[in-house]
Amino acid sequence: MIIEYANLVAELKKNGFVEVNQEQYDWFKENADDLFQYLDVKIVNGEKTFVLMNKKGFDYLFWKKYIDAKENGDLTENNLKTVRINGSHYVIGGENSSGFSGHGGARFVIEFIDGPHKGQIIETTNLWHQGGINKEYIDQLPDNAKWVKQWA
């Protein structure tokens, strides 16, 4: 059992995250809770899995979903378009969605300059900003759009 935990600790240190079961999670909480800063809990087929993450792992898992979206035609798993401008990442939400709008409903006009939506000009009042893309992922998430200047 000690070797198993040593291997899990090594995996967490190397990859930045590790998936563990309840017993392993309890061990980490008691013996090594200083190794992870973030916790995600998944339930698949009634089984609870804990994902322990440090900053590196959190960043990887956060940006991986947008790298996957880029590889999926710049579409999220919910078929929302992804936008990368000047090293920052955005998702265009639905225009008729109820509830909150990204950027408080401000109007943005975007022209896609690369990728599957190249040449499209989109106007949105529901733009969600994920932040500046970490330098480790900028090559995998290059700019695909630019702001279109609008004159009132």
**52, 61 contact by CB (below 8 A):** no
Per-residue pLDDT band at 97 (split at 50, 70, 90): low
How far, in Å, CA of 140 to CA of 122, rounded? 23
> What confidence tens digit (pLDDT) does each residue in 69-82 have?
999 999 999 999 99
Answer whether 0.85 is exceeded by the pTM.
Answer: no
Per-residue pLDDT band at 11 (split at 50, 70, 90): confident
- Per-residue model confidence (pLDDT) at position 151: 61
**71, 141 contact by CB (below 8 A):** no
Per-residue pLDDT band at 42 (split at 50, 70, 90): confident
- Per-residue model confidence (pLDDT) at position 86: 98
